[in-house]
């Protein structure tokens, strides 16, 4: 009893655990060695399975798993399992742990620095996620579609507007004809009315969706004008009326999103379109 409260601290991340296991694997009892080997060989099983199912496939008793976890300082098996799950999550976005370290520093730093670091990390994650989410084939189809349009109509309101306005600027430089919709009040619908089916539209809208943008995109689609869209959820009203649509989930910091990933996407699209045109 006298020394049991002196619990050694459990490893905080998967790598630390892995190291600890390898260090101590020589001095571990037979069954625990067995568990150790199984854990390192089948980490996914540990992450998803229940104690019973893991015990079965590792040929040990469930209680052995618990004792194994306790040997490494965890309260029980569940605590250990968390590390295996966290590992799977982070596989996807390697910047998540960096973000966490940044957030931990928070205490000593000025608040503005914390916010800055937060946005930098969020931007990184967003860009990782967009590069995973965009299908090269779909992107190519969207480029083809927009490249053969006579005029590209850019539909965007509110938060999305800065993106379309930069696209309009770049299109101008690249000598691609485009029409920015949503700039000054009132005349939007008149401009859209001039679109023919030799044109195409690119719409951007993030939650909460501006109902106008959705309505305008739908209208274009119903007139046979192909619509490509960028949005943040498969549930966006834009998705259903678009010939091609892309999902970008901007990671947020404290509820605010920077448009970093969307900007990268928009530029890639813009330049790709111009390039495709230039080649005929």
Residues 135-194 close enough to bind a second copy by CB under 8 A: 136, 139-140, 143, 158-159, 161-163, 165-166, 169-170
Stretch that binds DNA, among 77-85, 169-177, 239-247, 268-276 (CB under 7 A): 77-85
Kindly indicate which of the ranges 16-24, 60-68, 242-250, 268-276 contains the residues binding DNA, using the contact rule CB under 7 A.
Answer: 60-68
What is the maximum alpha-carbon separation in the chain? 85
Residues 12, 13, 25, 29: which binds DNA (CB under 7 A)? 29
How large is the angle between the packed helices 77-92 and 14-24, nearest 10 degrees?
130
Site for a second copy contains 266 (CB under 8 A): yes
Q: What DSSP letter does each residue of 110-138 carry, written as one string?
A: -HHHHHHHHHHHHHHHHHHHHHHHS-HHH
User: Is the previous residue joined to 190 through a cis bond, with omega within 30 degrees of 0?
Assistant: no
Smallest gap from Cβ 216 to a second copy, in A, equals 19
265 lines the binding site for a second copy (CB under 8 A): yes
Q: What's the rounded Cα separation, in Å, for the pair 151 and 22?
A: 63
Q: How far apart are CA 169 and CA 123, in angstroms?
A: 23
Rounded Cα distance between 201 and 179, Å, is 9
Q: Given the complex with DNA, which of 30 and 175 has the nearer CB atom?
A: 30
Count of positions on this chain that bind DNA (CB under 7 A): 23
Q: What minimum distance in Å lies between the beta carbon of 39 and DNA?
A: 14
Contact between 110 and a second copy by CB under 8 A: the answer reads yes
Taking a C-beta distance cutoff of 8 angstroms, is the pair 121, 114 a contact?
Answer: no
Site of interaction with DNA (CB under 7 A): 29-32, 50-53, 60-67, 69-70, 75-79
């Amino acid at each position: 009893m006298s020394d049991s409260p002196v619990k050694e601290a459990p490893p905080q991340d998967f790598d630390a655990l892995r190291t600890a296991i390898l260090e101590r694997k020589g001095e571990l009892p037979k069954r625990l060695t067995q568990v150790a080997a199984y854990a390192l060989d089948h980490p996914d099983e540990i992450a998803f399975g229940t104690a019973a199912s893991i015990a079965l496939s590792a040929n040990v008793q469930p209680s052995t798993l618990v004792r194994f976890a306790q040997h490494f300082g965890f309260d029980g098996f569940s605590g250990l399992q968390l590390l295996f799950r966290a590992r799977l999550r982070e596989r996807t976005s390697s910047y998540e742990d960096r973000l966490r370290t940044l957030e931990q520093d928070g205490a000593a730093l000025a608040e503005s620095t914390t916010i800055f670091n937060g946005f930098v990390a969020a931007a990184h994650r967003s860009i990782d996620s967009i590069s995973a989410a965009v299908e090269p084939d779909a992107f190519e189809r969207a480029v083809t579609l927009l490249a053969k349009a006579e005029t590209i109509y850019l539909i965007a309101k509110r938060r999305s507007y800065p993106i379309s306005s930069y696209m309009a600027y770049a299109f101008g430089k690249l000598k691609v004809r485009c029409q920015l919709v949503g700039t000054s009040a009132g005349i939007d619908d008149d401009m859209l009315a001039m679109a023919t089916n030799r044109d195409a539209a690119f719409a951007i809208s993030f939650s909460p969706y501006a109902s106008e943008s959705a309505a305008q995109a739908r209208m274009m689609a119903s007139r046979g004008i192909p619509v490509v869209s960028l949005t943040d959820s498969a549930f966006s009203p834009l998705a259903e009326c678009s010939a091609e649509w892309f999902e970008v989930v901007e990671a947020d910091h404290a509820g605010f999103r920077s448009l970093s990933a969307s900007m990268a996407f928009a530029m890639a699209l813009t330049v790709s379109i111009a390039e495709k045109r230039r080649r005929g």
